[in-house]
Structures are given as C-alpha cells and as structure tokens.
A and B are shown apart, each in its own frame.
Chain A
Amino acid sequence: MVNITIDGQKIAVPEGTTIMKAADEVGIKIPHLCYLEGVNDIGACRVCVVEIEGIDKLATACNTQVVEGMVIRTNSPRVRWARRINVELILSDHKANCPYCLKSGNCTLQSLANDLGLLIPDYSNTAEKMNWSRELPIVRDASKCIKCMRCVQICDKVQGMGVWTILGTGYRTTIGVRDNKRIDLSDCTLCGQCVTHCPVGALRECDDRLRLQRAIADPDKIVLLQIAPAVRTAWGEQIGLGVKEATLGKLVCALKKIGVDYVFDTTLSADLTIMEEGSEFLHRLNNRDKYQWPMFTSCCPAWVRYAKTQSPDLLPNLSTAKSPQQMFGTMAKTYMAKRLGLDPDKIYSVSVMPCTCKKYERTLVEEQDSGHGTDVDLVLTTREIDRIIRSDGIEPDELEDMPFDKVFGEGSGAGVIFGSTGGVMEAALRSAYFLATGSNPDPDAFSQVRGSGGWREATFNLAGQELNIAIVSGLGNVRRLVDAIHSGKEHYDFVEVMACPGGCVGGGGQPFRDGEEKASERAGILYSLDDVNDIRFSHENPTVAELYQDFLGAPLSEMSHKYLHTEVKDWDMEMHFDQDALEDPRKTYLYD
C-alpha cells in the first residue's frame, strides 16, 4: 500500500493506483475528457491535471501513478487555472454551436464547460470545417472533433481494425480514415464503437429521423416498424426512464403516438433466423465433408464486413441465413402484407436497431427479395428513436404499456436474447437440440454460453455428437479467434460472432454513456425477459409455425432460400445511397 494525501485527506491505496482512481476513493471526481479506462490514458486533453507538492510541472491524474508520501492538490489555484485554460483551448478548436449538435445534453465537453461556468471566450475559434457525406452510416463532423483519440484507440485496441488514423501535423492534426478512403470503401466494419465512445458530437450516425416523419406524413404509406431485441434494454436511458420503467410496452405506446401504423418485434424474425440457421447447422453437420468448418453466424453485418476484408476465405463458413432485420423486412412486404391485407407497395418498412451498420445492410442489393422495393426502407438507431420521442414532446411518464400489433409482435425468449453475446448461440442450440432429437431440452440447458467474456467456449452433446462451440464479441477478439482457427490451434463446430463488445446491447447505435460500459447490465435485462417468456424456444413460436405452414413450407425449403437467405460473398462494401434520399444542399463528397 502507498500512503498519500489528496486535498488534505490521507489515504492508503494499492501500489500502481493512478491519482484519478485514488482521488475517487476519497470522493473527488477529477474532471477529465479524453481518458477512457483501459483504452485511452494518453494524457491528451490535459484537463485532469493536478498539483504534486515539490514539483513545478502539473501531472495528469489519469496516467500518473501515486508514490509513497505524495501530496496531491486537485483544487489549488494553479490547477483551477490550468484546467480552465485547457478546456477553453479545447473549446477554441471546437465548433461549440451546441444547439445544433445531437450530443447536446449528453456531451462530456459541454458538461465540463458548464461545470467550470465559462462565460466569455478568450480565444478566437480555429475549428476545422466538416468534410463528410451526411448519408454514410457513420458521420464525422471535423468541426466538433477535439482530437481526444478515443475513436482511434477503440478502433485499434478494442476492435483491432485501425481504420482511424492521424492526418496532418501541428495545428492541422486531425483524424481521418486510413488510406484516405471514404469510410464505407475502407475496411471499416461500420460497427459504430467509435461513435458510442466519442465524448463530443464529432461522430454520429447518419440522421434519418426526417425520413420516418416524412413517411408517417405520407397518406400513401403504411409505416410498419420492427424493434430489435437490444433496443428494449436501453431506449429509456436518454428520455429519463429507469430500467424498470422503460418497458417495451411503453416504447410501443410512444411509437404509436409518433404515428407508426404497425409496431412489431424483431424477436419474431429472430426466431425465424434460428429455424433457418439451426436447420442449416444440422444440415452441414450431416454433410460434414461438403462444408468448411466451423460454421459462423452471420446476423451481424459488421462481422460480415470484417470477414469480407480480413478473412475472405471464411466467407463460405458463414451461415446463409439473413439477419432478423432483413428476414423481417422481406416478410413484411410478402407474407405479412398478405396476412394483414395491405398493399405491399405501400408498406414503408422501418427497423429500430442498436446498430449503425444495419443502415448499410439494408441498402445491399443481395438483401432485396420481397419484390416490392427495398425490404427495409429505413433503419433508425436507439438514439434516433429517443430523439424523435423527445422532439415530439412525448411525456415519458404518461406512456402506458401497449401490446404489439397482431400478429407479428410475438417472439420467443430465445429470440429476445439475440441481442446479447451468446444469445444467438443459446437460441440456436435450444432449437437445434429439438430439431435433432425431436424433444425439447431444458430451456436453460445451454446457459453455460452466457457471460461477458470476449471469447468463450463450451462443449455440448447434441444427439450423440460432441459439439465445440465458441462465442466471440469485439472484433479484436474475433481476430484472435480467427487467427487461432487459421493456425489450427482451435477447432470449433459453431461460432457466434458479434462485432460489438458484449453484443448488440453494447452496439454502436445505443445511447452514449461516457465512461460506462453498459452491455452486460443490458444483457441481464434480456435474460430476465427470456426467463419470464411463456415461449422459450424459437420452434414453439406459433406465428413462426404458421408462417412455415402457410408460406414458406419448411426451413431450408425453396421458398425459404428465396426469401430468407443471402450470399455474403456478393455483398458490396460500398454503401448504396437511397434514390429517395432527402435533398441536402450542404452534402459534400470529398472522394468523388
């Protein structure tokens, strides 16, 4: 233990503790900006500086370890001035027009400046100009970037992609895409982890709210919306609803108030995905020699993008089953339209996703199978839905629980856990067991696959066959796993991959929570929803059963292949912009 004094308080902390952590122990939150635990402790912003007795130079609390006898002051006049001036310098290089920023109200720099009570700027503003297409799934506004390097570090260290890099030198230093490519044309997986870790409004998703509002206002359009599993775990965060209050029923209610005609649940198509993918897995197991192993899940488009650029040799290993979002979209304009008695050409199919990459996935040529325009016309992130609720003045407290519209709002617990790392695997194993043996396992028989570790393994016996499975989330872990498979160190039969750490619950479209990683808490919500669901197996979802009976026939049937499967190798990396894109006179293409 090391004995130190912070602002007059004596405390003993373990060796290796940083000043920031030690101060936290005595109830002092040292203001900081660029610091991100375990990812970014490079001392770039110099906001967390403190005074150490006997040393003239101020120290950064985030990356300076305490030593025996250290006397630290976090609020001396020198520290106060230094902190204030550094924040003002950051602001001078930042386009601080907060009302015109999606991050306003949830911005680390804004709260820092507010806490300091800054009044009159001392410096002239030198912010860069924005130079980016506003229609790409990930939009970077250079004028807001404070060069904290978190995006670079998340991409390097957590996702292992190294998409972001430093451009320019000196005062012209800025962040750009490696090799100066347009982001969708680069190796970027569009996972959006940089977006959820940006402390300011420099990185955001493409803002598609107006498109939803325009569709609602259009009398010729029937807005049919699906909600992804992970959205229910986080949608309340930005509108002031706690975990217990932010029920799924209230989200349905809010969407109805906004004017959505039909609100359905992606959980349903998650069950459909399991039927297809589970059957596919059994088919591959029975024809082991004809396939490359292991089989990988493919419902995460960021993972597919990863595979396409980083290990294209593995593409045949990916399940051909479409993602729940896309299956839902295809069904919406075919079977569902018929069942609901709607004109498929009038349906405007919307999904609410915890994901930025889904905005790309929906534009892919290979994903359009309904024959009625794009299968999914619009993807909104959890953050965008929250903004619409707020901008419509909907009082969160007045929301009441409302059921989904009949009949495509019914999903199994297995479909619900899709939103968490391990969830797809568990759901698939529950149904694969049934499909292979004809009887249900205990619904919790495969709960061993749950957890928050980035790379987990398990072995199960499925109808006499030993199955080695792995669950991996976070692309850095994905790379390690893929390397291990390539080098022959690991042999698996089935691997679930999610690009975002913790899975979709920690997705790039989820609310921004600076300094908090909420994935595992949000996953807990999904597992408790599964636990109380009357239906725990995808194959027991009655709507899914009807769907096969009335429309598709059986999993892997010709109809299924027509509507529910895709060839990932044909996916284009380039984002296909909508023809009906909103006219934006300011849109700029640097890379044309």
Chain B
Amino acid sequence: MDRLFLRSQDEVQKTVSGIYSDLERRIVASPVGQCPVDLTASFLMLAHSQSCGKCVPCRVGLGQLQLMLGRILDLDVQCDIYDLAILERTAKTIAETADCAIGSEAAKMVLRGLKEFREDYEYHIKYNTCSPRVREAAQSVPCMRTCPANVDIPGYVALVKHQRYDDAIKLIRKDNPFPTVCALICEHPCEMRCRRNLIDAPINIRGIKRFAADNCSENVPIHEKMDDTGKKIAIIGGGPSGLTAAYFLAVMGHKPKIFEKREQLGGMLRYGIPNYRLPRTRLDWDINAILSAGVEVETNCDISSVDFMKKIREEYDAVYIAIGSHGAKMLGIEGEMSKGVIPAVEMLRGIGDNKLPDFKGKSVAIIGGGNVAMDVARTSKRLGASEVTIVYRRRQQDMTALPAEVAGAIAEGCELVQMLAPARIETDKEGYVKALIAQPQMVGPMDKSGRPAPLRADKPEVRIPCDIIISAVGQATDSQVFEEFGVPVYRGNITAAENTNVVELDGVFAGGDCVTGPSTVINAIAAGKVAAANIDAYLGYDHKMSVDIEIPLPDHKDDIPTGRVELKERFARERDKDFDEVEEPKSFEEAMQECSRCLRCDYHGYGAFRGGRDEQW
C-alpha cells in the first residue's frame, strides 16, 4: 500500500482558482461609491461560506450578523439605532472568541466598519437609504470619479479611437490644461478602479492620452475667452496648480497674474521632474497654451515679505496661493551638514535651470524611497556617477515610488539596498563625505501608514563608501511669510478648506502641494480647477467651462479578454547616458486596440442614466 500521494490540481480546482482571481479583480474594480454597509454584508456572506462550522461564533455568529445587516439594509424594515449595539457586541464577541482567523477577521471587518462608517449605518436605520456621501458618488464612471480633476476620460478615449486627437486634447483641457504633462507623467489614479478589471486588466488610460498628445496638431486652439470682467487675480506660484487656476480664470474673462519665485514657470514639473521623464519642450507646449489665454507672468518674484503680500491682496480682487512644497526635509543624522550632502530638491532645482552638477566617476548614495529618490538616482547616473546606491529603511514593496520608477532605476544600474536606516555620515578631515553608515532593520508590525514598521535589527552597522549623499526624505512648504500674513499653517502646510478657500481671509484661496504636502501633479491641477471655479463664484460670476464636442457612441461589440498594452522604454544601457525621454510612444495599432478595450461606462450601466459626464462645471 502507498502511504503518501502528491497533491495535484484537478480541473475543478483550476476553475475555482480562476474564479478567485476573477473575484480579486472584481474587488479591485469595486464601483466608486458602493454602499459600505452593503459591501460588509456581501463580504460576510463570502466569509461565512469559508467557515468550517466547528466553532459557534463563526458558524452561528457570522450568520446572525448577516441577518442583522440584511434588516438594516432592507428598505421596508424599520430598525432601531440600538440594533447597532447588538451588532457591535456580537461582532466583538466573534472577534474575541472565534477559533481561527476565518471567523475573527470577518468580525473585525464589521467592527472596523461600525467605527469608520457609522454614519452609513445610521442613515440606513433612520432613513432607509444610503448616506448622501455614498449616493452622491454612487455608480459614477470609475475613471472620471477617481480622476481628481474629473477629466472626461471615456470621452477622449472615444475621440482618440475616432482619430480625433485635437478634439481629445480640447476635451481634456476643459478640466485640465496640462494634457501633455499628464500624458507623460500622471500617476493615473483613473486606472485603479477601471471596470475593465472585471474582464482582464485596466485600460492604459495614460497611454491613450499620450497617443492624443503625440498625434495632435501643433496648435490645438484653446477655449474661447469669455467677456472681459476686469477682475484681477493674483496667483502666487507658477506650478501646475497656479497655472491651471490662471488658465481657467483667464478663459472666464478675468485677468490673472502669476508671481513666480524662480526663473521659469512650471514649478515641480520643471524643478522636480527630470527631462528624461518630462521633456521640457513638451512641458512648454502646455504652458504656452495656458499663457495664450491671457495670463500675465512675473518671474524671479519672491513674495519675501508680509508687506508685499498685503500689497498684492489690496491690489487684486482675489489671491490664489499655490507655492508648492519646495523645501528640503532634514535627515536628522550626524554629519548631515557635511560637504557632499545634497538635498534632492536643490539638485533638481538646479537642473531645472540647466545647472548640471558633475558626478563623473563619483559614488552616489541616495536616501529615500519615493519618486524623488528615484528621480535623483537616475539623474545621478546620467550625470556620470560610477555607482548609485539607493538606501531605504523599509522593503522595496513598501516604497512610495511608482513600481515602474523603481524598476527603471534598477534597470539603469542603480543598486537598491533595502532595510537599511541611515545612522550617520562619515567624513574626511576636510569635511567631505566618505561613507554612509547605516543600521540594518527588520520588518515589524504594521504602522499607521499601513506598511510594516522598520525595527532596528540585531546586526552590526553597514558602511557604504560614497562621495555624494543625496537626501530625498521629503519636502517642506516654505509658508512663513503667508503665516505672518494671517494664513493658518499646520505642520508647515497651509490650511485651506475643500473648496480651496482660506476661511480666515476674505478672497484668499490656496491649493496644491503647499496645502496637501508633496503630492501628484493631477492633485495640484484639480486644486487649481476648484480654485478657479470658486474664485469665479467669489467674484460674483457663474462662468461655465464647457466644450462643444460630440462624443462618438460606442460600438456594439463583444468584450473579448485582451492584454493591456504597456508603454515601452528605450534600452536601459542607451538611455542612462542622456536626458532624452525614456518612454516610447504607442504605435497606432496599439493605441486603437487599447481604445477599443474601453467599456464606455459613460454610456453603459448607470452612466447612461445618471452617472454620465458633467458637460460643464
């Protein structure tokens, strides 16, 4: 008799595994604004189906939780607010007494929901309906809803499919005057919840936008200017947020003027993002279009005193503060002031004005794990560094940098060392950097950011010899003058409401990185758009931004699972020597295939009914 057998997967198990991966993708594509109470009820049902049935809390308790949630959700059953107490104590007992994680984790999810979205429970109980927050977002078009600037994505995808590239650019500009910039470097949150996930993978939205930007005419006409209002708006900071606000305000007939501290416009787009990711010619194309709407600009103009700020406020009908977050955060380790230690923002700023440092033959260590760390690492390589080492105190998967940026850096020969926390900097007699001393870490329990905290490992320190150390551990906002002017500041960042209004000061608005801390370009653009709308309203107008472009109807077709076209990059061994663009454009056939993968949620499902496009704002 054989005593043991190898386990093999039969066809049914294979199918079940396939269903599990479908399920995972379905969860990724959860509709924005799904009712969290309903979601909890559905998850409980799944969790309950996983129960072995041995222990009481899991077998019976999860069932009772489902029944309670069902009653709360049912529209024709009146529940009592005290039902939440029963729900809570039942879930707590299951979490504390279930014999394994199948039961306890399911109950913990209910408890977490009771804490985090109690309002939704209360709405269901009191009014038999989802909370207004949920209803407002319910079943909107996923990509548009997740785009901070609410760009009409299905619209421009359809236009690209019909090879109407200029119309696509015009449509994007209705919500976002940086079509090219976003085509090249947007972090594309729009792709995250793409309904195409249900079938295969999200469509490559940024790639499609890039195809429009690569193939449109040299001069795509901007919005027609509305009647002159004579209102003057001062915009402090010529980055993406300030420029966006300036564009829309100019189109609305106002007179915006940008006060820019540096030599050139663009903010972090110019002084933070290297040319190989965002070629300056492409950036200038967007900026020139924005300026052509009638934006006055004063560069090299630092708002260095409160009096200057007061004067601006007096002379202008409204002010938008969008100064970004350009200061460097300190490492806080011994030897930080040594020669050869450079903050990443300073280095990138110099490069933005074509001041390239010489790293030829030098060994460079980068501290940090964000996109900026990757930018300076790859830039160092291009500046001729013999060795580039990225030192990070957590694991690679915990990095905040986009995976593609990390992969790009590694491909170009940067070495990534994980789980090493900088301890101090070793210098020579003249005070020049000799080495970075780092303390090995081990991965620990999750911290507030949801990532495992790095803990000091019981291992000896590591010495990384180097000539240059670039610190990329975060940026700070230079908000002092504004704080003195009366703008509230919390932890260095300006406090503004969700409508970008600085509540304490009449006619003063703020947005972008200086409010949120370092964030993405699309968030900065969104803030500029919101500011433009609310400044317009503040000035007593109701100018509507719209564009007269008919969106083609979708074709009736089957949705055959098809791979996602990814954008390709130049060979690493060629591209790491120059600052030319790394990414390569999509081919026509790739773009067309990608466009036809779009499920046109603006037209199908709820989009056809109430969740479709906002034709104006």
Contacts and interface: CB of A to CB of B under 8 A. Distances in A.
Nearest to B124: A168
Nearest to B73: A172
B608 A170 contact: no
Interface stretch (A57-65, A83-91, A455-463): A57-65
A57 B130 contact: no
Contact of A166 (B76, B608, B610): B610
B556 A64 contact: yes
Contacts of B38: 169-170, 172
Contacts of B73: 168, 172
Nearest to B560: A56
A43 interface: yes
Interface centre among B75, B127, B553, B555 (most CB of A within 10 A): B75
Given A55-B557, A55-B558, A169-B138, A180 B127 contact: yes
Contacts of B135: 165-166
Most chain A CB within a 10 A radius of its CB, from B38, B138, B610: B610
Nearest to B132: A179
Given A55-B557, A57-B558, A169 B35 contact: yes
B556 A52 contact: yes
Chain B contact residues, majority secondary structure:
loop
B554 to A, nearest CB: 9
Contacts of B74: 172
Contacts of A57: 556-559
Contacts, number: 60
B610 A128 contact: no
Contacts of A554: none
Interface in B122-173: 127-130, 135, 138
A131 B35 CA distance: 23
Q: Which of B76, B553, B556, B604 has the most CB of A within 10 A?
A: B556
A165 B128 CA distance: 13
Contacts of A63: 608
B609 interface: yes
Interface in A86-125: none
A44 B35 contact: no
Contact of A128 (B76, B553, B556, B608): B76
Given A55-B558, A168-B129, A170-B38, A65 B553 contact: yes
Contact of A168 (B75, B608, B609): B75
Interface residues of A, number: 31
B66 interface: no
B34 interface: yes
Contacts of A41: 608
Contact of B130 (A65, A67, A131, A168): A168
Nearest to B76: A129
A167 B75 contact: yes
B556 A55 contact: yes
Contacts of B129: 167-168, 176, 180
A174 interface: yes
Nearest to A40: B609
Most chain A Cβ neighbours within 10 Å, of B34, B129, B553, B557: B129
Contacts of B76: 128-129, 131, 142
B552 to A, nearest CB: 10
Interface string B72-94: 01111000000000000000000
B608 A43 contact: yes
Contacts of B610: 152, 156, 166
Nearest to B607: A42
Contacts of A174: 75
A447 to B, nearest CB: 37
Contacts of A156: 610
Interface in A164-207: 165-170, 172, 174, 176, 180
Contact of B558 (A56, A64, A168): A56
B191 to A, nearest CB: 24
Contacts of A64: 556
Contacts of A56: 558
Nearest to A52: B556
A149 B557 CA distance: 26
Contacts of B75: 128, 131, 142, 167-168, 172, 174
Contact of B128 (A44, A167, A170): A167
Interface string B319-361: 0000000000000000000000000000000000000000000
A483 to B, nearest CB: 10
A174 B130 CA distance: 12
Nearest to B126: A180
A161 to B, nearest CB: 14
A431 to B, nearest CB: 41
A169 B34 contact: yes
B43 to A, nearest CB: 13
Interface in A350-386: none
Contacts of B604: 43
Interface in B542-590: 553, 555-559
A93 to B, nearest CB: 13
Given A169-B130, A174-B75, A149 B556 contact: no
A229 to B, nearest CB: 37
A128 B127 CA distance: 16
B609 A44 contact: yes
Given A169-B34, A174-B75, A180 B128 contact: yes
A59 B34 CA distance: 27
Contacts of B34: 169
A344 B130 CA distance: 52
Contacts of A170: 38
Interface in A51-85: 52, 55-57, 59, 63-65, 67
A67 B556 CA distance: 10
B285 to A, nearest CB: 36
Nearest to B35: A169
A512 B314 CA distance: 63
Interface centre among B34, B558, B604, B608 (most CB of A within 10 A): B608
A170 B30 CA distance: 13
B130 A42 contact: no
A128 B76 CA distance: 7
Contacts of B553: 65
A435 B544 CA distance: 46
Contacts of A166: 135, 138, 610
Nearest to A170: B38
A285 B604 CA distance: 54
Given A128-B76, A172-B75, A174-B75, A167 B609 contact: no
Contacts of B555: 67
A193 B38 CA distance: 33
A43 B609 CA distance: 9
Contacts of B609: 42, 44, 149, 152-153
Contacts of A67: 555
B608 A42 contact: yes
A55 B130 CA distance: 38
B46 to A, nearest CB: 15
A108 B135 CA distance: 30
Contacts of B35: 169
A53 to B, nearest CB: 11
A316 to B, nearest CB: 25
Interface in A143-166: 149, 152-153, 156, 165-166
Interface string B579-616: 00000000000000000000000001000111000000
22 contacts: A41-B608, A42-B608, A42-B609, A43-B608, A55-B558, A57-B558, A59-B556, A129-B76, A131-B76, A142-B75, A149-B609, A152-B610, A156-B610, A166-B138, A166-B610, A167-B128, A167-B129, A168-B75, A168-B129, A169-B38, A172-B75, A176-B129
Q: Give the 8 A-B CB pairs with smallest separation, nearest first.
A: A42-B608, A167-B129, A129-B76, A42-B609, A169-B35, A180-B127, A59-B556, A56-B558
Interface of A: 41-44, 52, 55-57, 59, 63-65, 67, 128-129, 131, 142, 149, 152-153, 156, 165-170, 172, 174, 176, 180
Given A55-B556, A67-B555, A168-B130, 5 more contacts: A59-B556, A128-B75, A156-B610, A168-B129, A169-B138
